[in-house]
């Protein structure tokens, strides 16, 4: 396991504080994000994990200034630090900017996004090469020839054969995996500081998934980009992330570095998520499922939002919202079980066994490398 | 553990099934190209493969949403595969085979109440005595899939994705079918809900002895539910075997690449692991040249003799 060093505040690219977002709908106000606090450092990969409706996509849309028209930021701040062309460091609060300002000044140039479905995020009427050039021409004011040259370089970088020919092709002429490679090329065309990947591999086949993840990783290392993954696939998280934030019902309920979350999870929801991954090596007749469904955020949440689905819920879980408890290292948990006064509760037996097995595997791999 | 009688006649016997889509005079898509397999009573047969491998087309052809190009399908003594389907056979097919679709949002009529959706099959085939009997049947099935009776008067949009998939399952179950074709029933659901639906399907099988053809692209989920698995690639079944055989000693390189693509939730290992890749053209594999080689009673691989010997060396027994 890699040791985790303490991050320097200087390297902080993004810092979200107490963010609250609500949507007004015909049926009432939906409190989609309820107080999020989270940091992103240079070159780091953060994964935000959660079910649909947990608010992970909304947070990232706010960052890009593409929040839906009925959405409203109630409070909080998103401080984004970047280096200007003249080498000066500058910090802006995205919440205070208008969506237009965010889109003109930050999107594409500083923050870029890869969406889930490559077919809908590409323009079907425009050759892919032209789509890659668009951002560079808009933001960097370079000549068309220069942009053309760079676009072909990018196509080659993302692993597309014969880039000069592909440059003139349309999205429908490419396979799903190729399209996603083009989307990645567009996203990194202007050398952004932050790359947001919203379920980048969900629409792709498992065999292609691994290759796309490896591509994003290699580009990240090469350019020292910070990457935020939004996903519900914990297998993907295990492969790419340094730091994980688990979201449930608009709140981050547990966060920590990858080893803390996977080898020492503390929140019952994280236990449930980890236990529900089918284990290929273990023969079991039943999957450990989390009972019930996520709460309706139209109704104000009382206590811990996960309490009704939680087999380990304490009485206080139905009364008061748990604060973030510091459980050592970078690990923070929002669950009353982490309170020193709470009874000691162990994670489910099945999960305990699996984690022990994983740790044993790690030890074995370590020994093998030493020899 | 389930007791499946493999010596009895199979419930479904597919042989030489082909489904071609003629796009133009010069271009024909061979979505399913000469596949054969059997499903026995009470078991779950998993069909896996990447998108475009023809697994969904296979399911749709068997239940006659599509008319097969060639081949025979025998279902509980009835021939349902030919170009023409006799009236009698069709009636038998519609009563005894049901389908669960991938997207629970798209497969339920938004203008009908859950009660009407579930009762539709019973109404068409006049399988109830009076209104009271119909209501009872619907209520019983809804209870079985974990929905309450008062939810029967709601519309599909009032349910979450997982609940909608339960309605889809209830609609298939109410006919008391011998075989259910489940076409990627969990891919559109959230992780925490996927496990619930898989468990529900297993419970129902245990209780009623239903047979499943389970189509999916996610091998790790298929492993939980299937007794035997067929791996499809580009219209061919390249390898088939019991779940244990396939996971313990996969022979075909495509199967092995699928297995290695399953992400392991172990960060320290997964970070450095590189998934195996497989390209049919690079390795010069031509599926049409291969024949089925038998490794055991249940385990067969599509390969030429040379390929078979080569691949077998890579496999650790």
How sure is the predictor about A112, in pLDDT bands with cuts at 50, 70 and 90?
very high
Question: In chain B, what residues touch A278 (CB-CB under 8 Å)?
Answer: 220-221, 223-224
Chain B contact set for A363 (CB, 8 A): none
> In chain B, which residues have their Cβ closer than 8 Å to the Cβ of A288?
195
Residue for token pair 């009382």 = A302
pTM for the model stands at 0.86
Cβ atoms of residues A212 and A200 within 8 Å: yes
Give the pLDDT confidence of B220-256 residue by residue, as tens digits. Answer: 888 888 999 999 999 999 999 999 889 888 999 999 8
- Give domain status of residue B210, yes or no: yes
Q: Are B175 and B123 in contact (CB under 8 A)?
A: no
Q: Using one digit for the tens of pLDDT, what is the confidence trace for A27-79?
A: 889 899 999 998 999 999 999 998 877 888 888 888 888 888 899 999 999 99
- Which DSSP category does A107 fall into? B
Whose structure tokens read 């963010």?
A19
Q: Do A286 and B196 touch (CB under 8 A)?
A: no
Q: Is B1 a member of any domain?
A: no
Residue A328 predicted with pLDDT over 90: no
B6 within a domain of the structure (yes/no): no
Residues on chain A touching B160 (C-beta within 8 angstroms): 293-294
Q: What is the mean pLDDT of chain A?
A: 88
Beta-carbon contacts of A53 under 8 Å, excluding residues fewer than 6 positions away, are A249, A294, A297
Chain A residues in contact with B257 by the CB 8 A cut-off are 207
Distance CA B92, CA B95 (A): 5
Query: Number of folded domains in chain B?
Result: 1
Half-sphere exposure in the Cβ direction for A242 (13 Å, CA): 21
**φ, ψ for residue A18 (rounded to 5)?**
45, 45
- Residue with token string 């189509």: B215
Comparing CB atoms, the residue among A52, A210, A289 nearest residue B196 is A289
Q: Residue B233: what pLDDT?
A: 92
Per domain, the residue ranges of chain A are 9-241, 264-370
What pLDDT does A4 receive? Answer: 53
Split at pLDDT 50, 70, 90, the class of B138 is very high
Cβ neighbours of residue B231 under 8 Å, at least 6 residues apart?
Answer: B48, B49, B237, B238, B239, B240, B246, B252, B254, B255, B258
Q: Which residues of B19-38 are buried (b: 16+ CB within 10 A; e: fewer)?
A: beeeeeeeeeebbbbbbbbb
Residue B38 has pLDDT above 80, yes or no: yes
pLDDT for A301: 86
CATH number at residue B280: 3.40.50.300
Cβ separation of A235 and B219 shorter than 8 Å?
Answer: no
Q: So what's the pLDDT on residue A6?
A: 62
pLDDT band for position A266 (50/70/90)?
very high
pLDDT of residue A2: 47
| Enclosing domain of residue B45 | 12-314
Q: What pLDDT sits at residue B160?
A: 83
* Closest by Cβ to B264, choosing from A207, A238, A288: A238
Which residue in B49, B191, B233 has the most chain A C-beta atoms within 10 A of its own C-beta, making it the best mutation to test that interface?
B191
Ordered strands of the A226-231 beta sheet: A111-114, A194-198, A226-231, A45-49, A243-248, A251-257, A332-333, A325-326
Q: What is the mean pLDDT of chain B?
A: 89
**Is pLDDT above 50 for A162?**
yes
Q: Which two tokens stand for residue B185?
A: 């029933």
- What is the rounded average pLDDT of the residues A104-115? 89
Which of B193, B267, B274 comes nearest A259 by C-beta? Answer: B267
The pLDDT confidence band at residue A282, using thresholds 50, 70 and 90, is low
Q: How many CB pairs under 8 A join A and B?
A: 123
Nearest residue on chain B to A52, judged by CA atoms? B190
pLDDT at residue A196, as a whole number = 94
- For residue A151, give how far its alpha carbon lies from the nearest alpha carbon of chain B (Å): 27
Is 3.30.379.10 the CATH number for A9-241? no
Contact across the interface for B265 and A285, Cβ inside 8 Å = no
């Amino acid at each position: 396991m890699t040791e985790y060093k303490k991050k320097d505040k200087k390297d902080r690219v993004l810092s979200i504080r107490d963010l609250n977002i609500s949507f007004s709908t015909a049926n009432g106000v939906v409190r989609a994000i309820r107080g999020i606090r989270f940091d992103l450092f240079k070159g780091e990969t953060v994964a935000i994990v959660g079910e649909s409706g947990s608010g992970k996509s909304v947070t990232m849309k706010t960052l890009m200034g593409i929040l839906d028209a009925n959405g409203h930021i109630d409070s909080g701040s998103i401080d984004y630090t970047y280096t200007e062309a003249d080498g000066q460091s500058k910090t802006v609060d995205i919440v205070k900017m208008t969506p237009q300002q965010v889109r003109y000044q930050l999107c594409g140039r500083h923050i870029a996004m890869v969406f889930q479905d490559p077919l809908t995020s590409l323009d079907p009427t425009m050759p892919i090469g032209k789509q890659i050039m668009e951002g560079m021409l808009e933001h960097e004011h370079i000549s068309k020839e220069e942009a053309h040259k760079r676009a072909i370089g990018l196509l080659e970088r993302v692993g597309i054969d014969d880039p000069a020919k592909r440059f003139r092709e349309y999205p429908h002429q490419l396979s799903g995996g190729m399209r996603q490679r083009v989307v990645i090329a567009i996203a990194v065309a202007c050398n952004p500081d932050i790359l947001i990947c919203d379920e980048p591999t969900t629409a792709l086949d498992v065999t292609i998934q691994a290759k796309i993840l490896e591509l994003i990783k290699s580009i990240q290392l090469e350019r020292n980009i910070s990457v935020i993954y939004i996903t519900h696939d914990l297998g993907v998280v295990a492969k790419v992330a340094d730091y994980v934030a688990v979201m449930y019902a608009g709140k981050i309920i547990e966060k920590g570095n990858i080893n803390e979350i996977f080898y020492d999870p503390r929140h019952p929801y994280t236990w449930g998520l980890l236990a529900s991954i089918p284990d290929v090596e273990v023969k079991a007749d039943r999957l450990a499922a989390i009972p019930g469904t996520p709460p309706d955020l139209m109704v104000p949440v009382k206590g811990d939002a996960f309490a009704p689905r939680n087999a380990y819920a304490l009485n206080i879980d139905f009364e008061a919202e748990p604060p973030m408890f510091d459980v050592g290292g970078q690990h923070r948990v929002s669950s009353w079980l982490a309170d020193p006064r709470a009874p000691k509760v162990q994670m489910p037996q099945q999960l305990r066994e699996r984690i022990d097995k994983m740790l044993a595997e790690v030890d074995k791999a370590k020994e093998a490398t030493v020899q | 553990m389930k007791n499946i009688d493999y010596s009895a006649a199979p419930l479904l016997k597919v042989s030489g099934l082909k489904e071609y889509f003629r796009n133009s005079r010069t271009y024909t898509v061979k979505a399913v190209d000469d596949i054969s397999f059997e499903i026995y009573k009470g078991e779950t047969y998993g069909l896996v493969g990447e998108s475009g491998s023809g697994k969904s087309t296979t399911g749709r052809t068997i239940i006659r949403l599509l008319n097969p190009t060639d081949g025979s399908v025998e279902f509980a003594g009835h021939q349902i595969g030919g170009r023409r389907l006799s009236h009698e056979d069709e009636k038998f097919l519609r009563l005894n085979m049901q389908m669960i679709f991938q997207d629970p949002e798209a497969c339920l009529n938004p203008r009908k109440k859950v009660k009407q959706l579930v009762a539709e099959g019973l109404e068409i085939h006049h399988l109830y005595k009076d209104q009271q009997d119909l209501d009872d049947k619907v209520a019983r099935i809804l209870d079985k899939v974990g929905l309450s009776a008062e939810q029967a008067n709601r519309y599909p949009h009032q349910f979450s994705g997982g609940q909608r998939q339960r309605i889809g399952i209830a609609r298939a179950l109410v006919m008391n079918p011998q075989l259910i074709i489940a076409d990627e029933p969990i891919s559109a659901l959230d992780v925490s809900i996927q496990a619930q639906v898989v468990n529900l399907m297993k419970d129902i099988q245990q209780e009623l002895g239903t047979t499943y053809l389970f189509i999916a692209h996610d091998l790790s989920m298929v492993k939980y539910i299937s007794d035997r698995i067929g791996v499809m690639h580009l219209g061919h079944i390249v390898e088939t075997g019991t779940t244990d055989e396939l996971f313990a000693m996969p022979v075909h390189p495509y199967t092995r690449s699928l297995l290695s693509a399953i992400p392991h939730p172990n960060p320290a290992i997964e970070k450095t692991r590189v998934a195996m890749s497989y390209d049919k053209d690079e390795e010069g594999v031509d599926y049409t040249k291969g024949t089925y080689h038998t490794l055991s009673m249940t385990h067969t691989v599509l390969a030429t003799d040379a390929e078979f010997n080569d691949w077998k060396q890579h496999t650790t027994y």
